[in-house]
Chain A
Amino acid sequence: MSATVVRYLPYIVVVNFLLVATLLVVLGRLATARPLKELPDGRQNAAEAVLDWFVAQARSIHPESVTLIAPFLATLFLLILFSNLLAILPVPILNIPPTSYYSGPLALAVIAVVGVIVICAKMRGGRAAVKHIFWPNPLQLVAEASHTLSLSLRLYGNIAGELLVASLATQAAPYGIPLIIYTLGLIPASVQPIVFTLLTVNFLATAVPAQGQPRGHPGGPIARAP
């Protein structure tokens, strides 16, 4: 990257995030432009296919709060996925994924962790949310901070690492090899949003226990490891 690009990188990250967000809003509007039908077809079918997985995850956490949890998970997933996929665009400035600069993943991780607490407060009340942060001891606060760090570092490390390898390969062998590296880069770019969302689901499942189940044992497909 040239010195000018490095200098303006924080602004580029924000602009790229905004572009991705705008694109997602436009896609969302397009998918729901026509009146929704009971038997979906076309765009509505595609949108429902995307949302299906999030609805299933939300249902496994708390079946009555699907409308609260599923949009949160879907927003995080789609924003990260489309941000990562910016790397394959053949446009110079636009192809810097916002998730390859540490501020981007950190912001997403803070949103995820704070969002979990806000959803907990909405579903179980403010006292329960405070109890979730400080129970069984105030050191739980450190755990919340470490969740933020681990979520953000994982995403940042994968995407920035992939980009670094691609740029090194481009310097070493400009033709052919970078194509392979970029193609392989699609794997972490599509797996990392899943991992980020699944870990958020895990945090949510411990913060909001399913009805009739003890705290910390959410049941469903992603039970927390003992």
Chain B
Amino acid sequence: MRAGLKRFARNRMAVLGAVVLLLVLVLVLIGPVVYPQGAFAITGKPMQPPGGGFLLGTDTLGRDVAAGIALGARTSMLVGVASTCVAILLGAVIGGLAGYYRGWVEIALMQVTAFFQTIPSFILALLLVAILSPSLTSEIIAIALVSWPAIARLVRGQFVALGGREFVLACVGLGAGDARIIFRHLLPNCASPVIAVGSLLIATAILLETGLAFLGLGDPNLMSWGLQISAGRAVLRQAWWVCTFPGIAILLTVLAINMVGDGLNEALNPRLREG
């Protein structure tokens, strides 16, 4: 793991991504301090261009775009990280059970996984949020429910590969139970690839969240980048800044997470490592 971090540090793109990501996190932390009035407060005249009284201008209702971006970062990161955590938990349990017990358990669970993968994830997420009624929790649940199959397949593959290793057999020989073998030995040994794939999932989750918010299925009480773009799309030609800056924020964040994820994948995945 430590050697993996060293390899990560040698990858310039990944380090650049990490720096951008760190800036986004700083934004999440200082946002409420810099903009104590909140993102929905009407602070000035509508549709002011950037550079005047407001750094990034104001939207159709006179709300500060910069405040929206700073406070919307929180929603994006929260949904991204929380839904990925739930997806990893769900995927690890399902993939782990399938990979450890094999046989009919594996067939059944992998069929369910395949079923989820056949439905386009955005449509499914849309449907789930519509059923659950739009809120932060239902967004997280919906995104987690469409993201876990990738993790499940990965964990299952790892378990199958590790299950044949002699150290697992040695544990059985010591009299270890299933729980001990799964939690103490198998799961820690697939941590590296799961971290790598999970970090990429965060980026996908943020994009999904933006898409949901754009369609008005986000939490109506929370500012988010998707909501900002949605609000500004009608005035795209008169007030380009309302859509553009949240769009750039999404682009930079997702790109940064992808670069970090690729870096982690290369650093932690032994198969991609060159001799």
Q: Do A and B come from one complex?
A: no
Binding site for A on B (CB under 8 A): none
Binding site for B on A (CB under 8 A): none
